[in-house]
């Protein structure tokens, strides 16, 4: 088996819970298969520090983690700038939040080049290289410049917007042209594939030419949807283990006689948190019987905390939660319990299991693995109900969830009411078919589909017939 080299901006460390779908999925893949995981260390160092002192190598079990520090300027332009202030908002349809400038694009290109120079030394001829997410789109083209001829794949964890939105990025041509250096490009959904195809049609090409220093090549682009999954078997198992069942019992006792609704998200504007609590407020207004009997437990993990858009969404969300708790709460009942922290996976599994309703209602999301984890954690004999945004990638696969438009506050409130009142029989039926999807299309299916396609080099088409 060829050695796998995974490259992503974030590298989870073995002793800290990973936040975000990418880190969780990569940890699970590499724990099983082994290989190298390369990316940013998460640290910022003085620009005087020599490059050799900025690279760190750690081996734990089968995973060799190689990380590199960034300077403040690299961090500000590559990570905070182009990745978080341009690509993230635009890819999530929030052009209004994007801050376009050339300085950050130059820093983005520079750090991609620096990553290529750093990892190239560790690569063997027959390694399979798998690059992840929007931070590193130009990385393969930088590696090709350094004469790396390995098979290199790319997977985008976020959505890809339609051309009219993608084209708002002033450097969209250079960005998309860099994809020509990959042997395979993976997207989360068929809709993303369609957006990519329309973009190519608008550019009137099915290939890009890429001029590297000593070779000029035009390749037919190979791309397809590969919806990411979770380690379902494993999650089911540890949802019924002690740490999770203790957390489940504890929370059930504390909220005895109350129905729990759970939401677990990074505190990101794409997650629809404000719309979600507005829907809850609407629920209490139009169905007052839920007052005192239903409570939302909302975990909002800290994320990108120095970015103004995140500071704003946090302020608005927290003040709305405060207002709802003030308006509707009673001495012995708080409508929303909000936890601004990252919980351990065991605790989360217990919380999911204790909750009658799981709310996954992003305004836009690549996939959203919380939807899958919520289903996996349920007790099969008495499962909860998943409310899922039609704008999450997961909605393409998880059709037996209660699908909602998160912008439609009243319909979302009605969906919560429906979920709270749903008969056990219907809950079991829906849960069974959702479980089937996440068992069949788990994270191992996802990574082997992608890696087999990358290794075989076969030209692919997207799975439209499954829609
Ligand atoms: C999303 C992205 C990941 C990212 C994660 C956490 O899941 O797809 O690439 O790592 O969010 O965001 P952060 O900016 O903290 O890495």
Tokens of 59: 């081996």
Q: Which of 6, 8, 9, 10 is the best mutation target for the ligand 1 pocket, counting ligand atoms within 8 Å of the beta carbon and taking the most?
A: 10
| Predicted ipTM of the assembly | 0.98
Q: pLDDT above 90 covers what percent of the chain?
A: 80
Q: How many CB atoms sit inside 10 A of residue 315's CB?
A: 10
pLDDT digits (tens, 9 = 90+) for 410-436: 999 999 999 999 999 999 999 999 999
- The token pair that represents 414 in the structure block: 């009605």
Which pLDDT score, from 0 to 100, does residue 214 have? 39
Other residues' Cβ atoms within 10 Å of the Cβ of residue 319:
10
pLDDT-derived band at 208, boundaries 50, 70, 90: low
Residue 365 bears catalytic tag: yes
**Rounded average pLDDT over 95-110:** 96
Helix axes 369-377, 232-239, angle to 10 degrees: 50
| Residue 93, Ramachandran bin (φ over 0: left; ψ between -120 and 50: alpha; else beta) | left
Please indicate whether residue 408 is annotated as part of the active site: no
pLDDT tens-digit profile of 151-185? Answer: 999 999 999 999 999 999 999 999 999 999 999 99
Percent of the chain with pLDDT over 70: 94
Distance CA 239, CA 348 (A): 9
Q: What is the pLDDT of residue 437?
A: 98
Which DSSP symbol is given to 365?
Answer: B
Q: In which element (H, E) is residue 211 found?
A: strand 207-212
Residue 206 has pLDDT above 80, yes or no: no
Q: What is the C-alpha separation between 365 and 147, in angstroms, rounded?
A: 35
5 three-class SS: strand
The yes-or-no verdict on residue 88 having pLDDT over 50 is: yes
Say what the pTM is: 0.95
Of these residues, 157, 195, 275, 444, which one is catalytic? 157
The Cα–Cα gap between 227 and 397 comes to: 8
Alpha-carbon torsion (265, 267, 270, 271), positive or negative: positive
Give the chain's count of helices (H) and strands (E).
17, 16
Helix (H, G, I), strand (E, B) or coil at 223: strand
pLDDT at 216 over 60: no
- Local confidence band at 252 (pLDDT 50, 70, 90 cut-offs): confident
Q: If you measure from the C-alpha of residue 84 to the centroid of ligand 1, how many angstroms do you get, rounded to a whole number?
A: 9
The residue with greater pLDDT, 215 or 146, is: 146
- CA 41 to ligand 1 centroid distance, Å: 14
Q: Please give the Cα distance from 25 to 69 (Å, whole number).
A: 23
Query: How many CB atoms lie under 10 A from the CB of residue 306?
Result: 9
Cα 78 to Cα 106: distance, rounded to the nearest angstrom: 8
Half-sphere exposure of 270 (CA within 13 A, CB side): 24
Distance CA 366, CA 360 (A): 13
Chain segment 317-356, per-residue pLDDT in tens: 999 999 999 999 999 999 999 999 999 888 999 999 999 9
- Which pLDDT score, from 0 to 100, does residue 217 have? 44
Closest residue by CA, ligand 1 atom 14: 304
Mean pLDDT computed over 42-53: 91
| Dist CA 3 CA 35 (whole Å) | 6
In the predicted model, is pLDDT for residue 218 greater than 80? no
> Which residue is catalytic, options 192, 231, 265, 365?
365
- The pair of three-digit structure tokens given for residue 315, joined into one six-digit string: 């302020």
């Amino acid at each position: 088996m060829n050695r796998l080299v995974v490259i992503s901006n974030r590298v989870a460390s073995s002793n800290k819970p990973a936040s975000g779908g990418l880190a969780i999925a990569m940890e699970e893949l590499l724990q099983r298969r082994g290989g190298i995981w390369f990316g940013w260390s998460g640290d910022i160092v003085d620009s005087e520090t020599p490059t050799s002192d900025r690279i760190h190598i750690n081996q734990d079990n089968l995973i060799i983690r190689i990380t590199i520090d960034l300077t403040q300027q690299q961090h500000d332009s590559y990570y905070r700038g182009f990745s978080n202030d341009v690509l993230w908002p635009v890819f999530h349809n929030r052009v209004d939040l994007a801050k376009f400038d050339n300085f950050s694009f130059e820093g983005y290109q520079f750090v991609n080049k620096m990553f290529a120079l750093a990892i190239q030394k560790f690569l063997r001829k027959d390694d399979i290289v798998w690059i992840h997410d929007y931070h590193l789109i130009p990385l393969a083209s930088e590696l090709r410049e350094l004469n790396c001829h390995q098979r290199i794949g790319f997977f985008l964890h976020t959505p890809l917007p339609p051309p009219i939105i993608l084209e708002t990025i002033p450097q969209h041509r250079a960005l998309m042209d860099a994809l020509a250096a990959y042997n395979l490009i993976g997207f989360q959904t068929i809709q993303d594939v369609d957006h990519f195809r329309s973009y190519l049609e608008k550019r009137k090409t099915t290939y890009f030419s890429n001029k590297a220093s000593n070779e000029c090549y035009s390749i037919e682009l190979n791309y397809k949807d590969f919806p990411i999954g979770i380690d379902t078997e494993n999650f089911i198992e540890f949802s019924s283990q002690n740490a999770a069942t203790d957390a489940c019992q504890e929370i059930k006792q504390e909220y005895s006689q109350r129905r729990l609704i759970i939401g677990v998200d990074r505190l990101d504007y794409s997650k629809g948190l404000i719309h979600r609590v507005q829907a809850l407020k609407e629920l209490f207004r139009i169905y007052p019987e839920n007052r005192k009997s239903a409570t939302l437990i909302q975990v909002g993990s800290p994320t990108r905390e120095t970015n103004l858009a995140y500071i704003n969404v946090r302020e608005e969300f927290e003040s709305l939660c405060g207002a709802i708790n003030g308006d509707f709460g009673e001495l012995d009942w708080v409508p929303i319990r909000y936890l601004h922290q990252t919980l351990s996976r065991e605790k989360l599994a217990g919380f999911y299991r204790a909750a009658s309703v799981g709310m996954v209602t992003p305004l836009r999301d690549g996939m959203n693995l919380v939807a899958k984890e919520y289903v996996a954690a349920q007790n099969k004999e008495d499962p909860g109900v998943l409310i899922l945004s039609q704008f999450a990638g997961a909605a393409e696969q998880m059709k037996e969830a209660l699908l909602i438009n998160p912008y439609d506050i009243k319909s979302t409130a009605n969906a919560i009411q429906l979920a709270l009142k749903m008969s056990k029989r219907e809950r079991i039926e829906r849960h069974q078919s959702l479980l089937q999807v996440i068992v069949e299309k788990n994270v191992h299916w996802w990574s082997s589909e992608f890696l087999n396609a990358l290794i075989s080099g076969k030209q692919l088409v997207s799975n439209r017939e499954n829609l």
